[in-house]
Amino acid sequence: MADNMTAAQRSRTMSRIRKIDTKPELIVRRLVFSRGLRYRKYVSGLPGTPDLVFGGPKVIVFIDGDFWHGWRFEEWESKLSSTYWREKIRRNRRRDGHNHRKLENDGWTVIRIWEHEVEEDPEACVDRIEAAVRGV
C-alpha cells in the first residue's frame, strides 16, 4: 500500500513530534532526581544522544517510544500502511543497535527503557537505573 502523505505533509507531521522532554522522560527524570541521582541530559557527543547520562559510573539511559523505536516490531510491522514507515522504523532499530554496541564498546552500561514500561511501573524503571548507577 502506498503512503497516504506527500513529502511536505510527512515533514510537517514529523516536525511536530517531540524528540526531547517527552512525558515518559519527564516522569523518569523526576523520580531519578527525587532519589538523589544527578545526571546530564541529551549529551550530543555520545552516540544516539542519550536521554540521561551518569558520567561517573558510566551509565547511559535511553527512554524510547514503543512505536518509533519498534518495540516488538516483528509482531506488528505488517500492519503498517506503507513501506515508508516500515523502513523508517527498521532504520531506527538498526541505528539504536549500532549506538548501543558502540557505547558498550566504549565502556558504558546502557539501559533502554520503553515507553510502556514507564506507563506500567515507573518506579521499577528507576530501580533499574539506580541499581546500575549505585552499583548495587
Domain extent, residue 116, equals: 7-134
Mark 79-104 as b/e (b = at least 16 C-beta within 10 Å): ebeeeeebebbeebeeebeebbeebe
Tens-place pLDDT, residues 85-134: 788 888 999 999 999 999 999 999 999 999 999 999 999 999 999 999 99
Query: Could you tell me if residue 68 is inside a domain?
Result: yes
Domain count, the chain: 1
pTM of the complete model: 0.83
Cβ atoms of residues 53 and 40 within 8 Å? yes
Interatomic CA distance for residues 27 and 3, integer angstroms: 34
In a domain, 93, yes or no: yes
Residues 93-107 pLDDT 10s: 999 999 999 999 999
Is 1 inside any structural domain? no
What's the pLDDT score for residue 1? 40
Q: How far apart are CA 17 and CA 6, in angstroms?
A: 17
